[in-house]
Amino acid sequence: MRCPYCGNNDTQVKDSRPTEDNAAIRRRRYCADCGGRFTTFERVQLRELTVLKRSGRRVPFDRDKLMRSVQISLRKRPVEPERIERMVSGIVRQLESMGENEVKSETIGKLVMEALKGLDDVAYVRFASVYKNFREAKDFEELLGELSGDGDPPILKSAE
């Protein structure tokens, strides 16, 4: 593992243990050249995934990109980081267990929306507005109607 401080490729593992959710191995490392200490997290990767974008482009799957997009939708929401990590790990496991090396970006988006819907309604709406490319307030009203479970947007209900 390359040292993030000096770039040395010869670092030593000083401690190694599983994370609390057993989804990764946490390794404390030490660089003999510069004396730097750093932590790495190593995950088992079942298969190399490629994402097929809507444009037709193919890009390697990036777990960190998925995590960043989920964190953006959850920004300033009362959700513990451990729950976010478990959610992202679950999505990645689902993608890897589908048996395909190539996954459509729409599939990833649907899995994220499904997971966010059960985690935080505000984050779900935030993610959906970008994923579904909302253009008008009507798009939000329809999604909020789906969330309320009755199909009618809450804004349009009469105040009887």
Q: Using a pLDDT cut of 70, give the percent of the chain over it.
A: 88
CB neighbour list of residue 74: distance below 8 Å, 6 or more residues apart? 84, 116, 119, 120, 123
User: With 60 as the cut, is the pLDDT of residue 6 above it?
Assistant: yes
- One domain for residues 80 and 106: yes
Which is nearest to 115 in space by CA: 45, 66, 157?
Answer: 66
CB neighbour list of residue 94: distance below 8 Å, 6 or more residues apart? 111
- One domain for residues 38 and 77: no
- One domain for residues 103 and 29: no
Sheet bearing 50-52, strands edge to edge = 58-60, 50-52, 102-104
159 lies in some domain: no
- One domain for residues 84 and 30: no
- One domain for residues 54 and 33: no
- One domain for residues 60 and 100: yes
* Token pair of 91 as six digits: 């999505």
- One domain for residues 67 and 93: yes
- One domain for residues 31 and 108: no
Average pLDDT of the residues in 45-52 = 78
User: With 50 as the cut, is the pLDDT of residue 151 above it?
Assistant: no
Domains of the chain: total: 2
- One domain for residues 38 and 88: no
- One domain for residues 125 and 84: yes
134 lies in some domain: yes
- One domain for residues 80 and 33: no
2 lies in some domain: no
160 lies in some domain: no
User: Residues 12, 34: contact at Cβ < 8 Å?
Assistant: no
Task: Identify the sign of the CA torsion 130, 132, 135, 139.
Answer: negative
What is the DSSP code string of 11-42?
A: EEEEEEEE-TTSSSEEEEEEETTT--EEEEEE
Q: Which domain holds residue 20?
A: 11-42
Residue 1 pLDDT level (bands cut at 50, 70, 90): confident
Q: 0.75 cut: is pTM over it?
A: no
- One domain for residues 36 and 59: no
